[in-house]
Amino acid sequence: MTKTIQRRKDRIDKWISEQYADCLTSFDDLVGDGYTGMSNIFYLWNRRHLHWLDNNPDVAVSEQEIRFRRKFFRVLQKVGPSALKCTQVFENRKIINDPTAVGKDDDVILPETPVVFVSNHGFHDDVLATVLAAGRHAYIAWGSLPLLFNTKDGFASSLVGTVCVNRNNKKSRQSFLAKALNVMEHGTDIILFPEGTWNKTSEKPVLDLWKGVYDVSLASKCAVIPIVHYVRDMESLKKKNIIHTVVDDPVMLYEMSQREALKYLRDVLASWHYKMAERYGKAERATEMQGFDTSDEKWKAHLEKRMRGVDRYDYEVETKADFRSPEVARPEDVFRPIANLLKKRTTATNIKMILDAKRIVEERTQSDFQRRF
């Protein structure tokens, strides 16, 4: 670490200890894995905006800031489509449901009061695509601090408006609801990605959802608007690669129990994703598997390529950010205690069981791409 970087780090550590100890645990929260310093974007712009992390909602988001970001959103509506790496197409829900259908799609009627837009999460431009699909100014719930404070994408999102949460810090996580409600009380919508991280599985259209979206809906009695994207080739960042987007009707999650609401919302998101994949994602297996012996090899190579395009990725946080219900027992969870039996507890009768358990845990860990990448 150079002397300049060390001085900057010492200065940030001083800010943290003096002003932000309740929401930041260390310098590393802001830089992510494998980075020794802050980007120029941080020093030119975002070092002035650490107050976004303050656990006091009135400090984190002010009415004056919201007014400024509303004005910027009008500019983004005009220039945003050209900033997308891929072309966004808004789909007719009637035709997605029935390819033989004709006629315009039914309009989605948004309430005049603030709403929560929710979207699936998994490709480079999904945040911008969601902001454009919402069609009206909304603050973005943001949990990846290294990405927000140190990249061009984070800088652009901050101009629209963000509700920050440091997922490494318990008090910061607990402050999210109050900050989100504060934004909505000022008449502004919120955008949430309730999967919590990119969906890196090969078999799930949508991951299980965190309960934050339900908490916001219940506390504010607001409608939730599903926005679903499907991209045929998530490795390609070219205009000819299409972002297929569906905006669906409002859902009143607060009228359901938490379990029912999250299950229903996930079903809505997954259903639209599956229907678009059926319509636009068909391919010959021989073509898809060219150069690979197994589907696991193919998906591993796909993820490695996709993740190389991500700047300032906090692997320590992101690989644990998907929701996993304690009520669901996975094979690796069941067999890990057996696999970890101490040598002195190994006998001639249980050695095969222990070795089989170790093999099962290792195989499951290797195939758990969601937490490997």
Please state the rounded mean pLDDT for residues 115-131.
Answer: 95
Average pLDDT, whole number, for the chain? 90
pLDDT of residue 145: 92
State the total domains in the chain.
Answer: 2
Which of 286, 312, 343 is the last residue before a domain boundary?
286
Residues 266, 312: one domain?
A: no
Residues 103, 193: one domain?
A: yes
pLDDT of residue 9: 73
For residue 364, tell me if it sits in a domain.
Answer: yes
* Strands (E) located in the chain: 87-90, 116-119, 138-142, 162-164, 189-192, 224-231, 242-247
- Domain limits for position 149: 58-286
- Side-chain-side CA neighbours of residue 150 (13 Å): 21
Residues 96, 216: one domain?
A: yes
- 164 pLDDT band (50/70/90 cuts)? very high
Under 8 Å between Cβ of 73 and 160:
yes
Please state the rounded mean pLDDT for residues 236-255.
Answer: 93
**How confident is the model over 179-226, as pLDDT tens digits?**
999 999 999 999 999 999 999 998 899 999 999 999 999 999 999 999
Please state the rounded mean pLDDT for residues 216-237.
Answer: 93
CA-based torsion, 122, 113, 217, 22: positive or negative: positive
Alpha-carbon span 272 to 248, nearest angstrom: 9
**How confident is the model over 304-321, as pLDDT tens digits?**
888 887 878 888 888 889
How far is CA 149 from each of CA 28, 47, 282, 313, rounded to the nearest angstrom? 12, 8, 38, 12
How far is CA 45 from each of CA 48, 49, 68, 148, 149, rounded to the nearest angstrom? 6, 8, 16, 11, 9
For residue 221, tell me if it sits in a domain.
Answer: yes
Which of 286, 317, 352 is the last residue before a domain boundary?
286
pLDDT at 257 exceeding the cut of 80: yes
Sheet holding 162-164, edge to edge: 87-90, 242-247, 224-231, 116-119, 189-192, 138-142, 162-164
Residues 221, 273: one domain?
A: yes
**How confident is the model over 62-104, as pLDDT tens digits?**
999 999 999 999 999 999 999 999 999 999 999 999 988 999 9
Which of 286, 316, 344 is the last residue before a domain boundary?
286
Residues 205, 322: one domain?
A: no
pLDDT of residue 36: 66
CB count within 10 Å of CB 312 equals 22
